[in-house]
């Protein structure tokens, strides 16, 4: 098939940039290890407490090393369960020292939810039957909002929690 000379130039340039672009994404994903959240572990959505990470005492923020934390969360309509404090009240806030490495691991007891910390790149889907997880460094102090960004029912827009990244 015949191609006009200018069209050849245009396509060569276009396809060239495309290859370059995909190479950049590919290097980011496979060499630098920056993959989108794709945790493969499964869980019984009707019995999430049976899983070690989501037992009540393990919910919320846990320190696991110098500057290293795990945040385990059970989402359900329309709440993020972050465990209980000493007095037995539900924890309503996540407080993380600035600069720490945090592993978020989340699952849901009912429908699909979102897990987005607005203003950061923490953003993943939470689906029944799966644990999703994402590791990040919280390096900017401030008050963030953890928000459900996947429609989960009539109270979906109330599903939010505060995340405080503080200078210790």
Site for other proteins in 60-89 (CB under 8 A): 77-78
The answer to whether residue 166 forms part of the interface with other proteins (CB under 8 A) is no
The answer to whether residue 121 forms part of the interface with other proteins (CB under 8 A) is yes
Shortest CA distance to 67 belongs to which of 21, 29, 103? Answer: 103
Give the integer Cα–Cα distance in Å for 164 and 68: 16
**Are 113 and 148 in contact, with CB atoms under 8 Å apart?**
yes
Among 94, 102, 148, 165, the residue binding Cu ion under the rule CB under 5 A is 148
**Residues 7-46 as x/- pattern, contact with other proteins by CB under 8 A:** x--xx--xx--x--xx--xx-xxx---xxxxxxxxxxxxx
**Are 83 and 31 in contact, with CB atoms under 8 Å apart?**
no
CB of 85 to other proteins, least distance (A): 18
For residue 64, the partner it binds in Cu ion, other proteins, none, with Cβ less than 5 to 8 A by kind, is none
**Counts for the chain of helices (H) and strands (E), in that order:** 1, 10
**Are 98 and 138 in contact, with CB atoms under 8 Å apart?**
yes
Among 122, 152, 163, 165, the residue binding Cu ion under the rule CB under 5 A is 152
The answer to whether residue 118 forms part of the interface with other proteins (CB under 8 A) is yes
């Amino acid at each position: 098939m015949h191609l006009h000379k200018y069209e050849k130039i245009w396509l060569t340039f276009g396809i060239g940039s495309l290859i370059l672009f995909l190479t950049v994404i590919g290097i980011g994903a496979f060499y630098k290890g920056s993959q989108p959240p794709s945790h493969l572990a499964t869980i019984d959505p009707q019995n999430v407490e049976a899983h070690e990470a989501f037992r009540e005492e393990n919910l919320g923020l846990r320190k696991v090393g110098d500057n290293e934390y795990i945040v385990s969360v059970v989402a359900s309509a329309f709440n993020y369960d972050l465990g209980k404090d000493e007095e037995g009240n539900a924890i309503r806030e996540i407080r993380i020292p600035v600069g720490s490495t945090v592993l978020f691991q989340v699952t849901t007891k009912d429908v699909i939810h979102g897990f987005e910390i607005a203003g950061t790149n923490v953003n993943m889907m939470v689906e029944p039957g799966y644990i999703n997880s994402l590791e990040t460094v919280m390096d900017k102090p401030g008050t963030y909002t953890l928000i459900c960004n996947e429609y989960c029912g009539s109270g979906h827009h109330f599903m939010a929690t505060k995340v405080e990244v503080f200078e210790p």
